[in-house]
Every structure is written in structure tokens, then in C-alpha cells.
A = this chain, B = another copy of it.
Amino acid sequence: MDHLAGIDVGATQIKLGTVDLEGRILQQDRLPAGAKASFVDFARPIAESLKRLQDKTGGTLRAVGIGTPGFTDKRTGVLMGGAENIPCLKGNSLSAFIKERFAVPAVTDNDGTCAAAGELAWGSARSYRDFLLITLGTGIGGGLVLDGKVYRGAQGFAGEVGHLGLDRNGPWCVCGSRGCFEQYASATAIVRLHRERLQKRRLPIPEPLEPAAVLMAARNGDPVALETVRHAARAIAQAFGSVANLLNVEACIIGGGLSAMADQLAGFVREYVADYAWPLLASGLKIHTAALRNDAGLLGAAALALQELSWR
């Protein structure tokens, strides 16, 4: 049987899987990412794991998709920057490494773009031609599908929705801009802002304070957690409103590790978005969480590989 492989490279963990052409995972594996001395030390275990998965899966591996943080040159797969947590990737191409060893088409792209490709192929966005997906994590990543295709932009770096400037007087951000969206609604920001709220009110702070626990507490009616979640929802609504005004997308989708917990958050965003977009654009806008939960990265990378095949 023909199948694909998807590789989701995170800062702490690498998820790999073989995936059939309908988006079902056939075999999967996980590797610790850790800090590696060199690119080859980082890439070789990935290739070995993929070889084992392929042996177990049998059939023909048609294409490999790889999602990583940061900015990838779309022609070569070389990481140009923006993945500070995995320094050995910079200047190297995981897809070239895989392509050479497996003699199949391989493509690397940004993890937010992969997540959008996954939702388009097999998730909650199958009926949409124009949508934005955001991933709430350490930062906020994103991917765009416009006119029915994954949109990459001039150099292939499109989708950095986490760096929309929401507040011209806000704090400076690592990207060079101020008051960026991710300062207000990333998983990191949700934890930071919730911690600050608890501290100011001299309330006990659970340790470790996990973002999913904050969302869970809000769902259970905790009033302080509800404030934190509503505050994040307002920032998301502002970003979605700007994107709706600029791109007239059909839908804005909340993805990333928190999406399984984010239905209440998405509800608040739906409530607030009319405050931040033209009525005509806000009224038609669909807002919901992503359908591909824990395996979104892996499946998104495989969806990208499928797209790579269809280019040929």
C-alpha cells in the first residue's frame, strides 16, 4: 500500500508516523529532541526511526513531510532562522537529509503551515477555501490557506500571526516589533498572566502551573481563571478581527497543544470578535478549535507530503 510519513519536530520531542492517503496513522514513534551537538547527531536518529516505521508498515513510502518551528527556505528545506530552541537545525535541511537516505520526495515547512495543511486535508477545514489556523504554544504560530491552497508568501515564511502588533505601545517582542499577539494569548502568556493575577490577589499558585490546568479551572468555573481565559480570548478576537478585515477569511481555527481544551476559549472569541471586525466580515466568520488533536503536527506534515506529491 502507498503511504506517507509525517515528522513533527518540536523543541523537546520528535513525533514520527507513517500515514495512509486518507490521514490514518499506520505506525508511529516518538524521540526525545534534546540538545544535540551537531545536525547529523540530530538527524540520524530521525532517519533510523523512520526506517523502522517503514519496515513495520511495509508497502511503498511515497513522500515525507517534516514540520519544524521557524523559517524554512521552501525550495531547499534549509532552516533560515526563528527556531532558537533547536540551534543545530539552522542552515541545514532535514528534508534533504531524508530525501537522500530514502530516495523519496521530502519537504520541510513551518509547523503552523503544516497544521493548516492537516486541517485542510483531513481535519475541520475540509470545506474551507480561505482560513487562518493559529497554534497556541510557547509562542503563537500559524498557517494560512487562501484560495484553497496553503499560502506561503514570497520567501515561504508566511503565517507568523503571532507577530501581528496588537498594541503599538506594548512591550517589545523577540521579533523586533511591539505588543505582539503572542504576548497576550500564547500558552506561555496565559500562564504568565494567570500567575500575575494570582500573585496580585495573594491567592495560592499551584506548581507547576500548566496552561491546560488554567483552561480546565476556567471550565470548572474558577473566577480568576475565567478572567485569564477571557483576557486571552479578547487578544485572539482582536487578531482574528484584523485578519478577517485584511483577508476576509471564512474561518479562524484555534489549534496547537491546547486546542483539545479550548472550546470555552473559542466561545469567548466568538463573543468578542464583533468588537474587532467589520460587521459584514465578523458575521460570516466561523471560529472553532482544530479537529486533529495530539497528532496534528505529524498529520499536518504528512498532509504537506501529500501536497508535495500532487505538485508532481
Interfacial chain B residues near A156, Cβ < 8 Å: 248
When each residue 265-294 of chain A gets 1 if its CB lies under 8 Å from chain B and 0 otherwise, what string results?
000000000111111111010000000000
- A176 beta carbon closer than 8 Å to chain B: yes
B154 touches A284 (CB 8 A): yes
The answer to whether B167 touches A167 (Cβ under 8 A) is: yes
How far does the alpha carbon of A250 sit from the alpha carbon of B166 in the complex, in Å?
22
Cα–Cα distance between A80 and B281 once the two chains are bound (Å): 11
CB–CB B163/A242 < 8 A: yes
Beta-carbon contacts of A135-167 to B below 8 Å, as 1s and 0s?
A: 000000010101101011111111111011111
The answer, yes or no, to whether A245 is at the interface (CB within 8 Å) is yes
B164 and A245 within 8 A (CB)? yes
**Contact of A164 (CB < 8 Å), options: B149, B159, B242:** B242
Among A185-209, those with CB < 8 Å from B are none
When C-beta atoms are compared, the residue in chain B nearest to A248 turns out to be B153
A175 touches B278 (CB 8 A): yes
A220, CB-defined interface residue at 8 Å: no
Cα-based distance from A156 to B158 in the complex (angstroms): 21
Q: A176-B277, A276-B176 known; A248 and B282 CB under 8 Å?
A: no
Q: A77 in the interface, Cβ–Cβ < 8 Å?
A: no
Once the chains bind, are B153 and A249 in contact (CB under 8 Å)?
yes
Which residue in chain B gives the minimum CB-CB distance to A235?
B168
Q: Which residues of B contact A166 (CB under 8 A)?
A: 165, 168
Q: Are B154 and A278 in contact (CB under 8 A)?
A: no
- Asked whether, in the complex, the Cβ of A158 is within 8 Å of the Cβ of B242, the reply is no
Contact A149 B147 (CB under 8 A): yes
Closest to A278 in B: B175
Q: Mark A238-271, 1 if CB is under 8 A from B, else 0.
A: 1001110111111000000000000000000000
CB neighbours (8 Å) of A245 from chain B are 160-161, 163-164, 175, 177
Instruction: Tell me, yes or no, whether A99 is within 8 Å of chain B by CB.
Output: no
In chain B, what residue has the closest Cβ to A243? B246
Whether A276 lies near B178 (C-beta < 8 A) is yes
What would 5 more interface pairs be, CB under 8 Å, given A159-B246, A168-B179, A175-B277?
Answer: A71-B278, A153-B248, A160-B278, A175-B245, A178-B275
User: What are 21 A-B residue pairs whose CB atoms fall within 8 Å in the complex?
Assistant: A142-B246, A144-B247, A146-B153, A147-B149, A152-B248, A153-B247, A153-B249, A155-B284, A157-B280, A160-B281, A163-B242, A163-B277, A166-B168, A167-B168, A168-B238, A175-B277, A176-B279, A176-B282, A177-B242, A243-B246, A246-B246
